[in-house]
Structure 1
């Protein structure tokens, strides 16, 4: 398996920078591809393969999306669910949810993820805090 998955941002897809060797996964930008399933398929498969090889590993995830549509919401939920499942293998997941301080929609989705997956070390950080 390659140690990195990098996909540059486009006008309707986020930058994906998953450095598997460093155990840091990052999504940044906007996500409203015509087919979220097609765009996220390889991302989810590569992440699943990475997580299957992790045991007692510290994994940092940074999600900094300024906008995402409803089909991307499902894919993000699937990604976080996959991360949460890896906790049973002793992994520690720290998820940095970065949002614009004034964007209630993004903030609320992050809060829902934190409630749905309480075992993840979830940190909601306003953009200005960086």
Structure 2
């Protein structure tokens, strides 16, 4: 599988995992009615991808881009599971870079990013303020 994709809805984020190019993106709001069934297929696909990382591709970085404006507690648990999987992969020697994007005036998302980032020892976790200046 080269791609895992789910369109954004009113209650669930866009998920765009381009495994061939090692780019993962999650964007939008996340409060699905059944987080386990929503995130389950994503985790299954990601687990398969990470299990297939071979010695030849081990040095190629995995890039993760998150742009969430809201998420509920069950989505927070899913994010923690995602970060744990990526941290374990980075611990195994695969470069992983996670970019947590947030609006300049969104202190809540900034704090969540800071909290998630504190748990990362091997994966590189970056906080990035989104540029909202369109003039």
TM range (shorter): over 0.9
Is 1:37 aligned to 2:36, yes or no?
A: yes
Q: Larger Cα Rg: Structure 1 or Structure 2? A: 2
Q: Tell me, which stretches of 5 or more residues in structure 1 are unaligned?
A: none
- Inter-partner Cα distance in structure 1 for 2:80 and 2:106: 19
Superposition deviation, residue 53 in structure 1: 1.5
**Residue deviations 1:20-79, cap 9 Å, x none?**
000000001110000111100010111111111123330000010011011100000000
- Inter-partner Cα distance in structure 1 for 2:108 and 2:63: 23
Q: SS at the partner of 1:75?
A: helix
| CA-atom RMSD in angstroms | 1.4
| Contact residue 30 and residue 66 of structure 1 kept, 8 A | yes
- Inter-partner Cα distance in structure 1 for 2:120 and 2:65: 16
1:87 to 90, 101, 105: 90
Match of 1:26 in 2: 25
Match of 1:60 in 2: 63
| Contact residue 69 and residue 102 of structure 2 kept, 8 A | yes
Match of 2:116 in 1: 113
- Inter-partner Cα distance in structure 2 for 1:6 and 1:30: 16
Match of 1:9 in 2: 8
- Inter-partner Cα distance in structure 2 for 1:20 and 1:129: 29
Q: Which has the larger helix fraction?
A: 1
- Aligned pairs, number: 129
